[in-house]
Amino acid sequence: MGFLYRRSECLIAAAAGVWLAGGHCRSESRTGATAEVAQDATDTTEGFLGPSRPQLGDRLRAQGALPDPNRGLQPAAAFPPEPRPEGRDAEPNATVEPPDGGGGADPNAVVEPPDGGDGSEASSVGARPAVDTSTLPALLEERGFEEPTGGFLAYVIAMRFEDGRARIVAERRYDVEGTSEEASTWNPASTVKLYAAIGALRRIHALGYDRQATLTFRGTGEPQTWTLEALVQAAIGPSDNLAYDYLVVFSGFDWLHERLLTPENGFERTALRIPYDKGRWTRLGFSESLRDSPDITVEQDGRTTELPAAVGDAEVACDQGSCTTPAELGETLRRVMLQDLLPDEERLGLRADDLTLLRELLASPRERGTEVVHELRPSFSADAVFFHKAGYADEWFSDNVYIDDPALDRTWVVVLAGRPGRSCLDRVAELLGELLVGGRLDP
């Protein structure tokens, strides 16, 4: 197992079975990157890939640092493997048995999509929900809030439950004058790593494997080998940029943008185009574009699948390193946190154990990127849990937060983005906490 650092000379291998706690190889800060490169330093000064076993969440809970990520949530429904297409998506060397060996239901198996197709229609969300664009800005103006000078975007989903967290009975969405649909005027940075993780977890099961599978990437440099779980942990936890790149090219540009990030699935303005930390990525022998996937070998339990190199030609409406909207970020987090309370057509099709992993990582402690959560927290009870993925690049700071306070019958998704600087959202996050708990932004 290895740990990856921002500088190529700091690439080292380690056999330690714990996440890196000391001895960091320090590198210069590079926070002023352009949107094309989308360099960010969201959660740690150095990115790294940690071990896949034992799971990060198990260790954090043993230390008392993480609550049960599924508290109050229903177990995930089963989703069987998607049909396997031909070409790069085929499995020339793999013989895949049913996940449970052919008998009985496996709660972690990925259910046949309702249309019997490739899975894209299984998550069709239909028309976008209505958004109240005037209430939130009026409430903020009443409290003297001044927007950050370089830009400000906001999106809030309010949800009310009955029977604990067993049933959603009301929802309402708010934004600031339509900014939840902005895609090309800001840099989402590491917030989009959640998309990459979801795509790769869906992709591995479509191929008949699970996240313990080993992936070997062969560019023009030395082959790079990681388990899929290690890549997901590194991308969502410490926010490693290379882990994100690996996840995207493993899914494949066309698969990702034609099967998952589609209008039918609620993604109208999301695209992942350019590697994060492009210089380090290309020095490892990979392409300057995420359209290009290298040869990849998938191995698990004596089975092997070879994915030949491919160049994606899916059309995307994005000329930045990555594009998305606050609304698409927030709706995705809602679906991760509440998959089994949602209609079939709104579900992401993730397995129960994969949902648990993502929730653990989203709730895990971070070294950086916690400014919004820090300002929201005082308004809620001591038992409140904040699941979030922040991002910082090109002076844009953003966070995508799910707030679960067991003392309340409501939960919220809060997506904020502002420029310039990491502290530019402090005041609005503080005000939002007061407004949410005070019932001013209810469903």
Average pLDDT over residues 303-322: 97
Select from 74, 170, 79 the least CA-distant residue to 129.
170
Confirm if 143 and 104 have CB atoms less than 8 A apart.
no
Q: Is residue 121 part of a domain?
A: yes
Cα distance between residue 4 and residue 240, in whole Å:
8
Confirm if 332 and 101 have CB atoms less than 8 A apart.
no
- pLDDT at residue 415 is higher than 80: yes
Select from 409, 410, 427 the least CA-distant residue to 418.
427
pLDDT in tens, 108-158: 444 333 333 333 334 455 567 899 999 999 999 999 999 999 999 999 999
CB count in 10 Å sphere of residue 85: 12
pLDDT in tens, 294-312: 999 999 999 999 999 999 9
- pLDDT at residue 11 is higher than 60: no
- pLDDT at residue 19 is higher than 50: no
Q: Running DSSP on this structure, what letter comes out for residue 81? A: P
Using pLDDT thresholds of 50, 70 and 90, give the confidence band for residue 424. Answer: very high
Average pLDDT over residues 150-175: 96
Q: Which residue has the higher pLDDT, 85 or 254?
A: 254
Domain membership of residue 110 as a residue range: 46-144+182-364
Q: Could you give the 3-state DSSP secondary structure of residue 95?
A: coil
pLDDT in tens, 372-386: 999 999 999 999 999
Q: Which residue has the higher pLDDT, 5 or 392?
A: 392
How much is the pLDDT for 128? 78
Q: Is residue 232 part of a domain?
A: yes
Q: Running DSSP on this structure, what letter comes out for residue 105? A: -
How much is the pLDDT for 164? 84
Q: Where are the alpha helices (DSSP H) in 173-268?
A: 193-206, 228-236, 241-251, 253-255
Cα distance between residue 353 and residue 185, in whole Å:
36
Confirm if 411 and 172 have CB atoms less than 8 A apart.
no
Q: Is residue 197 part of a domain?
A: yes
Select from 336, 332, 329, 362 the least CA-distant residue to 351.
336
How much is the pLDDT for 125? 57
How much is the pLDDT for 126? 55
Confirm if 314 and 253 have CB atoms less than 8 A apart.
yes
Give φ, ψ of 352 to 5 degrees.
-60, -45
How much is the pLDDT for 45? 30
- Per mean pLDDT, which range of 74-88, 197-211, 336-350, 395-409 is the poorest? 74-88
Q: Is residue 239 part of a domain?
A: yes
pLDDT in tens, 78-89: 333 333 433 444
Q: How many domains does the chain have?
A: 1
Q: Is residue 58 part of a domain?
A: yes
Q: Is residue 347 part of a domain?
A: yes
Confirm if 51 and 16 have CB atoms less than 8 A apart.
yes
Burial of residue 442 (CB within 10 Å: 0-12, 13-18, 19+) is: middle
Quick one: tokens of 198?
């979801």
Q: Above pLDDT 70, what percent of the chain?
A: 71
Quick one: tokens of 296?
């990849």
Q: Is residue 165 part of a domain?
A: no
Select from 184, 322, 202 the least CA-distant residue to 265.
202
Q: Is residue 79 part of a domain?
A: yes
Q: Could you give the 3-state DSSP secondary structure of residue 357?
A: helix
Quick one: tokens of 435?
């407004």
Beta bridge partners of 214: 227, 299
How much is the pLDDT for 78? 32
